[in-house]
Amino acid sequence: MKKFWRTQKQNYKVMIARDSLTMFSGRRPLQRVMSGYDSIFLNRLGATEVQIGYVNGIQNLAALILAVPSGLLIDKSTDIKQIYYRSILLSLPAFIGLYLTHDWRIYLGMMLLYTAALSIKNPSQLIINIDSMEDTSRVSGLGFHRTITAIAGVTSPILIALAIDYLGGLGSADNIRPLFLLFLATDLVIYYLVYTRLEPVKIEHKKETGNILEGLKAIIGSPVQLKLLLFSEITTLFVMMMVNPFRGIYQVDIKTATLIIFGWIGVAEPFIDIFFSIPYSSKSTSF
């Protein structure tokens, strides 16, 4: 592991540090949900189940509408680092608004701003991730990345649960509100890390760029494996988008999970990553 670490690019090490900080704050990289407390916070603000569904549906619609413009913006950019750290900066005011809000409608407005930032941040982050690893070591690199960042994600759910319990529990939105300050502080550190440590990621574009229709034709004419992967992503997201908005409320209000149990649920996924990511990737030679 030491030998592997020494041979990796600077950007790979920065990406691991960034995702470790994200995991330690209770979030998952490349996801919009915030540590599983989103729906509980909305419910404590007074939103009904239908209104919570509206909030998540509108966010997903915004993500869909912004997907193509964001992709075109990234495609025209020659320096991905610049557009990446600016997208982080764009997301910061959302955390301040979420901390101050006492109405689910304001929450929706702040999350739309956050969604707009993520529509640029996540694709550019993926490009940086791919560029930070050599083709010959990408599988091992992904396994190592998942293991190290998962270690940070194991401790944070319990610490967050204990902090919320100390503040008074999940009965009030005010007890969950400090989480947004934690996210703000974490992303400020990540912004500084990316701004000062990330090496430029230059993308060379072809002289002739295709349009959206040509991109769709390319997908239609793509190999069966790519189509199956796309189908898998669509069906998985379809189910997740129905379940995720109400999972926290179900666990706490219906199944009466305590904060400690809620924290241990958050520990389970990164805990599995620690023990399986590197062994699995060491047996894989290619995608």
Q: What is the pLDDT of residues 197-253, one digit of tens each?
A: 999 887 766 655 556 677 677 777 778 888 888 888 888 888 888 887 888 888 888
131 to each of 4, 9, 10, 141, how far by Cα in Å?
17, 9, 11, 12
Indicate the Cα dihedral angle 144, 149, 151, 154, nearest 10°.
Answer: -140
The CATH fold assigned to 8-202+258-280 is Growth Hormone; Chain: A; (1.20.1250)
Extents of the domains making up the chain? 8-202+258-280
Tell me which of 4-13, 30-39, 107-116 is least confident. Answer: 30-39
Mean pLDDT value of segment 57-61: 90
Reported pTM: 0.83
Query: Which pLDDT score, from 0 to 100, does residue 287 have?
Result: 47
Q: Which residue has the higher pLDDT, 35 or 29?
A: 29
pLDDT tier for residue 282 given thresholds of 50, 70 and 90: low
Which residues, in sequence order, are bridge partners of residue 77? Answer: none
Which tokens sit at 50?
């239908």
Residue 6 to residue 24: CA distance in whole angstroms: 24
Query: Which pLDDT score, from 0 to 100, does residue 238 have?
Result: 83
Query: Which pLDDT score, from 0 to 100, does residue 18 have?
Result: 92
